[in-house]
Amino acid sequence: MIGTPREKIEAFEVLAGETRFLERPVSVWKSGFRRLLRRRTGVTGLIIIGFWVLVALFAPLLATHVPTQGLLGEEPGIQRRDPPCIHMLGCPEERPQHFLGLDGNARDEYSRIVYGARVSLTIGITTVTSAILVGALLGAIAGFWGGWIDNLIMRIMDVVLGFPALLLAIAIVAVLGPGLTNALLAIALVTIPQYARVMRASVLQIKEMDFVAASKALGASNWRILFSRVIPNALTPLVVLGTLGVAGAILEAAGLSFLGLGAQPPTAEWGSMLGADRNQVFSAPHLVFFPGLAIMFTVLGFNLLGDGLRDALDPRLHQ
């Protein structure tokens, strides 16, 4: 390169500036997803959740019977609460094959667990999504504006948090009436405060940053700053909390159904399956073991994924 030393320095500065301009910033979500794939807990959670999602999507193909249909009189030689019968594992050929046995109404337990994945995943994802939308909006408004708006919203959230979540959900369902829809509503209502508080804490930090002050200096309105600058940068902790919240929502829905307040017969839902045959734990243990195992692995998958996301998206671990 020819020229005076000053010209050389200016040329290098131009090249460096052009290089920085051409470099595209790496997305937080893309880099976080790459780090998640390097963590065993996150990958294990993804595999478990992916398995149940596939089961739910292809339930009509995987199920061997109609989950709500009793088989007494339809198949010869069967009785209520028959144990699992698989021909490849020594079950007599003359007996109908049922992978996980029959329940108290002579319905195929395997088919009910397969279809139950649809109900449980729908409950978890729907309730958490609804709670995040409402809670994030309330928390963002409270943290961004502060003052009496902040005090009003947060004191209401504190009142809700003062009650045990499951007991409050039971009270709400008792008022509204038993049913899957009312159970979804109750679980969403009792989980809104935790998302609101996390969102408020994130907004309080982000609204003091320089890019928010720059947007204000350029004349952007408060609502535009809130929705285009603050909220998108405050969603990371909500993603982690929401993943863990799906597991809690599935457990709470199973608890409500176990008590007869959630999904109503003949809907195939794991909690209601446990509640219907809870007294048969010694005479027909397969009716309690397999639904409980399904709940356990689903909750475990979401918990492992939540732990993996927390480690992957926490910037303090990657400085």
CB-count exposure of residue 18 (10 Å: 0-12, 13-18, 19+): exposed
pLDDT of residue 157: 92
Q: What are phi and psi of 33, to 5 degrees?
A: -65, -40
Q: What is the Cα gyration radius of the chain?
A: 26
Asked if the model's pLDDT at residue 305 lies above 60, the reply is yes
pLDDT of residue 24: 42
**pLDDT tens column, 216-236:** 888 888 888 888 888 888 888
Largest distance between two CA atoms of the chain: 99
Cis preceding-peptide flag for 266 (omega within 30 of 0): yes
Most confident of 45-59, 94-108, 153-167: 45-59
Confidence of residue 23 (pLDDT cuts 50, 70, 90): very low
Asked if the model's pLDDT at residue 257 lies above 50, the reply is yes
At a CB cut-off of 8 Å and minimum separation 6, what does 71 contact? 65, 78, 96, 102, 106, 107, 108
pTM for this structure? 0.83
Round the average pLDDT of the chain to a whole number and report it: 84
| Rounded-to-integer distance, Cα 262 and Cα 264, Å | 6
On whether the 31-317 domain is CATH 3.40.50.620, my answer is no
Asked if the model's pLDDT at residue 27 lies above 70, the reply is no
What mean pLDDT is predicted for residues 44-59?
Answer: 94
Share of the chain above pLDDT 90, in %: 39
What mean pLDDT is predicted for residues 174-196?
Answer: 91
Confidence of residue 14 (pLDDT cuts 50, 70, 90): very low
Asked if the model's pLDDT at residue 142 lies above 70, the reply is yes
